[in-house]
Each structure stands twice: as structure tokens, then as C-alpha cells.
Amino acid sequence: MSYYIDEDKVTLDNLQNRIEETDLVPSRILLLEKIDKQFVKLKEHGFFTLKDLRKGLENKKDIPTLSKKTGIDHDYLVLLRREIEGYFPKACQLNSFDWLPQKDIAKLETLDYKNSVLLFEALSLSEKKTEIINDYGFEPEFIESIHNLLDLTRIQWVSPNFARMLVSAGYTNVRMVSMADADELCSKLDKVNKENKYFKGKIGLRDIKRLVKAASYVS
């Protein structure tokens, strides 16, 4: 299983639906403005999949040219780029899971599994997972634990520490989060945060609803 969504299988219509269904943060509301017309223009200029669009927006320096070519406002394209890049969380370094046994983390790093993407994709292959456990002497419980945490970091906005919170609340994989009742999940996260002080501040229900929705796209 890939760490990321298959951008080649996400059509422009799929992308538009996702943006329209998302409870966008205030700074991204502009994306909804005349979205039908904006996406028609993109398709008219050869952008048919998320992969096409992501490649076209990859270099910030090319956005002014693309804006002129498509007739889509420069600021709109900048926001669109930010939105879709958020669907591809940056790889986490394994040492950011600093509550796990560091000798095991260090051993994984010496095997060239230095980040969340590399290790998750290896552990998603049953034969490779068995090989890592049997050939290198890892405890199955440790490998299962880090595999679950890595799965959760595939969700937009989920850091290693927040993945730890989700596991503590009983949500050990993406599918569980995608099927969660937002009110119940919010309550459980608030409880484990008060007990363990993972971070300061209060967890908002609106953010948890966004989290559940985001999980549905990678489950």
C-alpha cells in the first residue's frame, strides 16, 4: 500500500467535490468562488487528474504564466496549490516518534527506513514485514505499534504526536478514524489529552469533523 493517495486516479471532478465537501479554513474559502468555471478552465487546458494539476502547480514561479494561460486568478491558483499539497503530508523522520524505544528506531534507520513513507510502505507488504521482524530481531508488538502510528500520519494534519493521541483514544488506524463519530472522538481525545498533557489548549469539534473527513480520503 502506498503512503499517499493515488493522484493519477483522482479526477478533476473528484478534486472539485472534495474541495466543496471540505469545511475549509477561512483563508481557503476563496477556492469555492466560481469553482465550476475555474475547473472547466483547468480541464480546457489539459488538466484532467490531480497528478496533472499538481505537476502544473509544482513550481511557484510557473503560476503567473499558468494564470495568464488559463485566465484563472493568480491568488486562486496559489491557494489551490496549498490545498492540494496538504493532501500529501510530508514524511516524518522516525526519530520524531521519540516515545518509542530509541534503540529500535536507530536500528530501523540503519536499515534505511529513515522516514514514515519508506517504513510504512515496507510494512504494508506482509512478506517484508515478516522479514523485518524475523531477520532483524524486532518485537512484533513494536513493529505493529509503529505501523499503526505511521498509518495515522497519512491523514492530513496528523503529526506523530497526534497519532499517539489517537492510538491512546483507541483509534489505531485510518479506517477507524474515517468511521468515527466526531463527537465521541473529540470527547475521547480531550480526555486522553487531559490525562497525558500531549499539548496545550482545547480540541475543537469542528477540527475533529475535518479530521474524520480527511481520513475518509485515505482509508
| Percentage of the chain modeled with pLDDT above 70 | 100
pTM: 0.94
The per-residue pLDDT for 72 is 98
pLDDT bracket for residue 202 (50, 70, 90) = confident
- Residue 202, sorted as left (phi over 0), alpha (psi -120 to 50) or beta, turns out to be beta
Q: Where are the domains of the chain?
A: 12-85, 94-216
Q: How far apart, in whole angstroms, are the C-alpha atoms of residue 29 and residue 108?
A: 42
pLDDT of residue 120: 98
Q: Confidence band (pLDDT; 50, 70, 90) for 200?
A: confident
* Contact call for residues 169 and 189 (beta carbons, < 8 A): yes
Query: Which has the higher per-residue pLDDT, 202 or 72?
Result: 72
